[in-house]
């Protein structure tokens, strides 16, 4: 195995949402997985194989992933794959509100300074003494990561009261 003979560095890219979950459940879960896997490797590989492990945790950046048109199209494609009864339970209004909330929050917080992430990657790969974690971006440093330090009840209260999520049609009918 190459890692056994060469040593070196492993640099993974996660997200600040790997430390504080938002309403993007599946995305956050995948990032929490990268965080845990990287932590585990960082604690086991150096002594065994001389490999250091580093993690880049960017906030939101304006990339094709967050392009508003792509987000709307991807969300609509996923919506169309849902069974008709589930679409009816949630309703078109819910779908539209969720789509626009995602697009709006991304557009308001996402940075166009993608070079910040590239600089962190370069440092993690080339520096004589790289850091274990690189929190990159204004929203990550001042919002998501600090929220992760708070007691859960306080972080939940802040996050959940910041913006009320859309209500599915079936819940509107039952109230």
**Catalytic site residue from 27, 61, 90, 94:** 27
Residue 73 vs residues 65, 67, 100: alpha-carbon distances, Å: 12, 10, 12
C-alpha to C-alpha distance for 102 and 7, rounded to whole angstroms? 41
Terminal C-alpha separation, the chain: 61
User: How many degrees, rounded to 5, is the angle at CA 154 between CA 150 and CA 155?
Assistant: 60
- The burial of 38, by beta-carbon neighbours within 10 Å (0-12 exposed, 13-18 middle, 19 or more buried), is given as buried
Residue 94 appears among annotated catalytic residues: no
What is residue 114's DSSP assignment? T
* Spatial CA neighbour of 130 closest among 44, 19, 53, 58: 53
Q: Give me the active site residues, please.
A: 27
């Amino acid at each position: 195995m190459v890692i056994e003979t060469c040593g070196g560095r492993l640099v993974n890219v996660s997200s600040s949402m790997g430390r504080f979950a938002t309403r993007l459940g599946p995305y956050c879960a995948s990032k929490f997985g990268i965080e845990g896997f990287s932590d585990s490797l960082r604690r086991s590989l150096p002594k065994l194989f001389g490999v250091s492990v580093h993690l880049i945790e960017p906030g939101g950046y304006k990339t094709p992933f967050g392009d508003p048109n792509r987000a709307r199209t991807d969300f609509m494609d996923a919506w169309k794959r849902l069974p008709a009864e589930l679409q009816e339970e949630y309703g078109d209004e819910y779908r539209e509100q969720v789509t626009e909330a995602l697009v709006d929050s991304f557009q308001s917080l996402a940075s166009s300074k993608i070079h910040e992430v590239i600089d962190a990657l370069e440092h993690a790969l080339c520096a004589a003494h790289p850091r274990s974690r690189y929190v990159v971006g204004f929203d990550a440093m001042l919002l998501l990561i600090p929220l992760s330090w708070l007691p859960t009840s306080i972080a939940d209260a802040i996050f959940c009261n910041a913006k009320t999520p859309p209500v599915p049609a079936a819940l509107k009918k039952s109230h």
